[in-house]
């Protein structure tokens, strides 16, 4: 059997799509092998969110070519979509496919084997209006299943290249989403994470259907679904209807990732973000009323062109006041081809780094404060893997529904199951837990009935 090896750079959507591409190869009779070993085909799924993403992608492509100069080298993903000529210029690259037509990859491989001519399969993504169906019935890491529900973004924020790499908003057919969710639950997954390029925008391109309706339909129609998580949602997409569905739901978890990017209205305007801080604050208050104990995580860009100390402090104070439970903090990095890269007043790297450190310190403090509310409580955790810091122990790591990372004694058989764990000691990045018991099916049914 021929062997294929994958390397994925970038976001959760890319990881999802690599799994989907693997399904195509599996059906065609391929074995999956490790990227570091010699393989017949290498598939590199690239990222282009920053210039560094491009550079890392090129390094991985060259590594694959060195591993086996006779292998077929396929490059896909966002960098392949935006810069196919740059990738085709790397000696040894055989096939380039962007962020559409991944189903044609195997045809291209056969064509390449016969003709021995490099193939550029990248088309104009901006013309695409149809969601490309890519099925993933199971995942290599077996605890949380991602389910991609939409593609593309219409926002065109000034710092972001992604609409050019992914095209405009396209939502997946709700029946397909429900069918695949059922397939994942039947395969043993307790938690499904809805993901996409602009996940909360699901349904904006549809008539009479939206994200709130999808959440409701998933809960009503998918038998055995225990947890439903939204990977990311913009404040502007948190409608009253979405809040109402979350308030009434038994499966939507108490955790939302809502990208803030900046807590200053003047910076948000330069970023071309679609909300003000007043609106963001009002949505947070509504959400916390509907979902007591809600964990809100967020992304923040520090040192956006022209960001003054005052604007930075507006962000800092907003985060402190609204008690986010954890932040992903990024120093602004120029992305060639975006309006922000051409703006005057680029912020000095030292100033950026100093601000990043201040926000990370705040994030650590807020994470500990949030977790400390749950000390002594018994929460439901899905163990994901053994504790890497102490691999010889019987400790495992998992997440509660409100996204606390808990380390506690468990066994291999418990991976992917729902277990009751008492939070002994709150901390960051881990909380120490004490195993109480595995939730059996009878108990799960009782809890559902309540």
Cis check: omega of the bond before 119, within 30 degrees of 0: no
Given this model, what pLDDT does residue 66 score?
Answer: 95
User: What pLDDT digit, counting tens, does each position of 293-340 carry?
Assistant: 999 999 999 999 999 999 999 999 999 999 999 999 999 999 999 999
What tokens were used for 422? 């008492």
Given this model, what pLDDT does residue 403 score?
Answer: 95
Q: Look up the pTM and report it.
A: 0.93
* Average pLDDT of the segment spanning 240-268: 97
User: What pLDDT digit, counting tens, does each position of 178-229 carry?
Assistant: 999 999 999 999 999 999 999 999 999 999 999 999 999 999 999 999 999 9
| C-alpha to C-alpha distance for 354 and 286, rounded to whole angstroms | 33
Given this model, what pLDDT does residue 309 score?
Answer: 98
Per-residue burial over 133-151, b = 16 or more CB atoms within 10 Å of its CB, e = otherwise: ebebeebeeebbbbbbbbb
User: What pLDDT digit, counting tens, does each position of 135-162 carry?
Assistant: 898 887 667 899 999 999 999 999 999 9
Given this model, what pLDDT does residue 443 score?
Answer: 59
Cβ neighbours for 220, distance < 8 A, ≥ 6 positions apart: none
Confidence of residue 447 (pLDDT cuts 50, 70, 90): low
Given this model, what pLDDT does residue 13 score?
Answer: 95
User: What pLDDT digit, counting tens, does each position of 371-425 carry?
Assistant: 999 999 999 999 999 998 887 789 999 999 999 999 999 999 999 999 999 999 9
Q: Does the pLDDT at position 96 exceed 80?
A: yes
Confidence of residue 45 (pLDDT cuts 50, 70, 90): very high
Cβ neighbours for 186, distance < 8 A, ≥ 6 positions apart: 224
Listed range (62-76, 85-99, 285-299, 387-401) with the worst mean pLDDT: 387-401
Q: Does the pLDDT at position 369 exceed 80?
A: yes
Mean residue pLDDT of the chain comes to 94
* 386, 414 contact by CB (below 8 A): no
* 47, 87 contact by CB (below 8 A): no
Nearest one of 104, 134, 123, 169 to 18, comparing CA atoms: 134
């Amino acid at each position: 059997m021929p062997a294929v090896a994958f390397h994925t750079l970038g976001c959760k959507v890319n990881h999802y799509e690599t799994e989907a591409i693997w399904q195509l190869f599996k059906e065609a009779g391929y074995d999956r092998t490790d990227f570091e070993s010699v393989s017949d085909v290498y598939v590199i799924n690239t990222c282009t969110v920053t210039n560094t993403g491009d550079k890392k992608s090129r390094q991985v492509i060259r590594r694959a070519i060195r591993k086996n100069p006779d292998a077929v080298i396929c490059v896909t993903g966002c960098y392949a979509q935006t810069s196919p000529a740059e990738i085709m210029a790397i000696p040894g690259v055989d096939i380039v496919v962007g962020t559409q037509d991944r189903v044609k990859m195997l045809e291209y491989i056969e064509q390449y084997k016969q003709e021995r001519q490099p193939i550029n399969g990248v088309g104009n993504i901006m013309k695409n209006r149809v969601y490309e169906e890519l099925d993933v019935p199971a995942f290599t890491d077996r605890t949380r299943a991602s389910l991609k529900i939409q593609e593309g973004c219409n926002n065109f924020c000034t710092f972001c290249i992604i609409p050019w790499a992914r095209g405009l908003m396209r939502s997946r057919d709700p029946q397909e989403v429900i069918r695949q969710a059922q397939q994942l639950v039947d395969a043993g997954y307790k938690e499904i994470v809805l993901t996409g390029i602009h996940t909360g925008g699901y349904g904006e391109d549809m008539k009479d259907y939206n994200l709130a309706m999808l959440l409701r339909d998933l809960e009503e129609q998918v038998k055995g679904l225990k947890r439903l998580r939204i990977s990311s949602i913009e404040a502007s997409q948190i409608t009253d209807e979405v809040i109402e569905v979350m308030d009434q739901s038994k499966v939507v978890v108490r955790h939302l990732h809502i990208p803030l990017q900046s807590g200053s209205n003047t910076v948000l305007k330069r970023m071309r973000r679609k909300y003000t801080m007043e609106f963001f604050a009002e949505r947070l208050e509504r959400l916390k009323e509907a979902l007591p104990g809600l964990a809100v995580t967020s992304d923040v860009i520090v040192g956006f062109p022209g960001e003054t100390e005052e604007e930075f402090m507006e962000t800092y104070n907003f985060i402190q006041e609204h008690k986010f439970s954890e932040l992903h903090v990024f120093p602004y990095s120029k992305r060639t081809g975006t309006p922000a890269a051409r703006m005057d007043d680029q912020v000095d790297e030292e100033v950026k780094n100093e601000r990043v450190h201040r926000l990370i310190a705040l994030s650590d403090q807020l994470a500990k404060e949030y977790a400390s509310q749950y000390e002594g409580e018994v929460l439901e955790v899905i163990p994901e893997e053994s504790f890497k810091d102490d691999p010889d122990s019987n400790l495992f790591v998992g997440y509660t529904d409100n996204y606390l990372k808990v380390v506690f004694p468990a066994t291999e058989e418990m991976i992917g199951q729902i277990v009751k764990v008492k939070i002994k000691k709150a901390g960051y990045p881990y909380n120490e837990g004490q195993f109480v018991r595995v939730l059996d099916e009878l108990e799960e049914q009782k809890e559902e009935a309540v």
